[in-house]
Amino acid sequence: MDSIHILEKLIAFPTVSRDSNLALIGYVADLLDAHGVPCQIIHSEDGHKANLFATIGPADASGIMLSGHTDVVPIDGQNWTLPPFEMTKRDGKLYGRGAADMKGFVACALSACLKASRMTLRTPLHLALSYDEEIGCIGVRSLIDMLQAAPQRPLLCIVGEPTSMQVATGHKGKLAARAICRGREGHSALAPLALNAIHLGCDFVSALRQEQDRLARDGARDGDYDIPYTTIHVGKMNAGVALNIVPNLCQLDFEIRNVAADNPDQILDGLRAAAAHIAAAASTIAPAAAIDIDITNTYPGLDTPANSQAVAFVKSLTGANDTIKVAFGTEGGLFSRDLGTPTIVCGPGSMAQGHRPDEFVSVEQMRRCDDMLDNLLRRLAGHRLQTA
Ligand SMILES: [Zn+2]
């Protein structure tokens, strides 16, 4: 079945991360089953979502894994001129939520699996589909647990996030955290007798910005990124009830996106120390003053050596001469860290279209991805690969 036809089916499942993806997983499982390919379905704890893993070819050998997430970001508040959950084909472009990020790749990978089911492979092809990637690479972790317990690990993983079919070897890691700043409420007319939690929060934001300045000036650098150093950013601040009440609570959501040479836990330790210092200074006014920091999500960066065999292998599939690193995070860092599987990010479409209204992938990009996977199938049929 042609990848574009499959993409049309996939876009029609509104798999926004907050909703179930089971209808899509059921469609994929039925499609594979009709071609004689069994699959494992790993449900989330509440049973509303699932990962899917399938192998085509010999069961006793390590293979090449194609990885994609099935969830998409919401369309809320976006000005779509085309139906988001119905594929529109126009001027060589295929529109719909997830076309670029990343149902286009999932469709190509499925099409390749169906072709593989009619071939005799000497090295297996694996398909790994996840849920809840868009909210912090959550779902794939149970799939990785399953693969960790399996007798063999994949030789290579291709994560098909949109890179315009360029071969990407890395992305930054991410640590997301919430700072909960506690002061003491009071009448605003007597503000100096209370402790304003927003003021505490602002002092902590200053500490975050000082740390950002230090990292930009003295931190590790990786010139392959547009922003070559580790970044710190506050994305949300919640506080206050009314102007005449000194607020007693201020919550800040912030993140650290680190280059490979920086350790986000160490950076966070420094920020915790700064928070403790700010709270201690305020405790003379209100003994209950505190800034507590909770980690809300983390995933590791990806840093596959550009001169590795895995990179050379994928370059030979696409015909690329060079490699890039991408700004956005992927599940690749987890595959690399937790399975030791060399991982590359390479997929159709561009993240310039991801997460936006009228998202699209071009037919040309889909064809280039199909070509890469056809080349892969030829390799898998020809050899029992020991390393990628
Ligand atoms: Zn994605």
What percentage of residues in the chain have a pLDDT greater than 90? 96
pLDDT value at residue 383: 78
Ligand 1 centroid from CA 102, angstroms: 5
Using 50, 70 and 90 to split pLDDT, how confident is the model at 48?
very high
CA–CA gap between residue 159 and residue 170 (Å, rounded): 11
pLDDT value at residue 386: 77
Q: Are strands 88-90 and 167-171 parallel, antiparallel or unpaired?
A: unpaired
Ligand 1 centroid from CA 101, angstroms: 5
Ligand 1 centroid from CA 171, angstroms: 13
How distant is the alpha carbon of residue 331 from its chain centre? 5
Ligand 1 centroid from CA 186, angstroms: 46
Average pLDDT, whole number, for the chain? Answer: 96
Ligand 1 centroid from CA 247, angstroms: 38
Ligand 1 centroid from CA 134, angstroms: 6
pLDDT value at residue 287: 93
pLDDT higher at 47 or 1: 47
Could you tell me if residue 170 is left (phi over 0), alpha (psi between -120 and 50 degrees) or otherwise beta? Answer: beta
Ligand 1 centroid from CA 57, angstroms: 27
Q: Is the pLDDT of residue 343 over 90?
A: yes
Using 50, 70 and 90 to split pLDDT, how confident is the model at 11?
very high
Protein residues with C-beta less than 5 angstroms from the ion ligand 1: 101-102, 161
Ligand 1 centroid from CA 338, angstroms: 20
pLDDT value at residue 4: 98
Could you tell me if residue 384 is left (phi over 0), alpha (psi between -120 and 50 degrees) or otherwise beta? Answer: beta
Ligand 1 centroid from CA 354, angstroms: 8
How large is the average pLDDT for residues 181-195? Answer: 96
Ligand 1 centroid from CA 244, angstroms: 44
Of 106-110, 178-182, 285-289, the poorest mean pLDDT is in 285-289
* Structural domains of the chain, ranges and CATH numbers in brackets: 3-170+301-382 (3.40.630.10), 173-299 (3.30.70.360)
Using 50, 70 and 90 to split pLDDT, how confident is the model at 388?
low
How large is the average pLDDT for residues 111-133? Answer: 97
Ligand 1 centroid from CA 69, angstroms: 7
Peptide bond preceding 65 in cis form (omega within 30 of 0): no
**CA angle, corner 344, sides to 342 and 349, nearest 5?**
165
What percentage of residues in the chain have a pLDDT greater than 70? 99
pLDDT higher at 152 or 15: 15
Ligand 1 centroid from CA 328, angstroms: 9
CA–CA gap between residue 240 and residue 293 (Å, rounded): 19
Residues 80-99 pLDDT 10s: 999 999 999 999 999 999 99
How large is the average pLDDT for residues 150-157? Answer: 94
Q: Is the pLDDT of residue 372 over 70?
A: yes
Ligand 1 centroid from CA 172, angstroms: 15
Q: Is the pLDDT of residue 385 over 90?
A: no
pLDDT value at residue 384: 80
Ligand 1 centroid from CA 382, angstroms: 31
pLDDT value at residue 1: 87
DSSP state letter for 166 = -
SS3 of 353, please? coil
Residues 291-300 pLDDT 10s: 999 999 999 9
CA–CA gap between residue 302 and residue 342 (Å, rounded): 10
